Structure 1
Amino acid sequence: MTIYLNNEPIKLEKSIFLSDFLKQKNISTQGIAIAIDQTIIPRTQWEETLLMPDQKILIIHAVTGG
């Protein structure tokens, strides 16, 4: 199956939970928000959110400064 991470296609063998996907890809979870198909997924739901074919995942990084 294919999902899209920040508009880049990524092939996965099967569905995977969002939290496991982040670990597998070594993505730091500090200061990020995640949207799937334009819906923000609360951090409390990452462990129960199953990624499905053709979903579009957007990782938003918090930036500090003035």
Structure 2
Amino acid sequence: MKNNMKIMLNDQPIELESAMTIDNLLQQLQQTQQGNALAINQTIIPQSDWATHRVKEGDDILLFQAIAGG
């Protein structure tokens, strides 16, 4: 029996069936709208890296809407 990977997303525990990229995670969560920004373990991950950056066991992920303004 395979153990699920546990992460935190916006302070909510989530279990994933397998390792995946940020893009895969956001598609699974139906969070693919424009303007999303994401930090893993308090480090902003550029959107250009989402297709290759893999989510790891224990990651603390913060997903939020980036708002431009002055």
> TM-score over 0.5 for the alignment?
yes
Counterpart of 1:54 in structure 2 is 58
Superposed, 1:1-66 pairs within 5 Å as 1-63=5-67
Q: TM-score scaled to structure 2, two decimals?
A: 0.84
User: Larger relative contact order (C-alpha < 8 A, sep ≥ 6)?
Assistant: 1
- What is the CA-CA distance between 1:31 and the residue it aligns to? 1.1
Aligned length: 66
Q: TM-score scaled to structure 1, two decimals?
A: 0.88
SS at the partner of 2:55?
Answer: coil
Unaligned stretches of 5+ in structure 2?
A: none
- The CA RMSD measured in Å over matched residues stands at 1.7
- What is the CA-CA distance between 1:60 and the residue it aligns to? 1.7
Unaligned stretches of 5+ in structure 1?
A: none
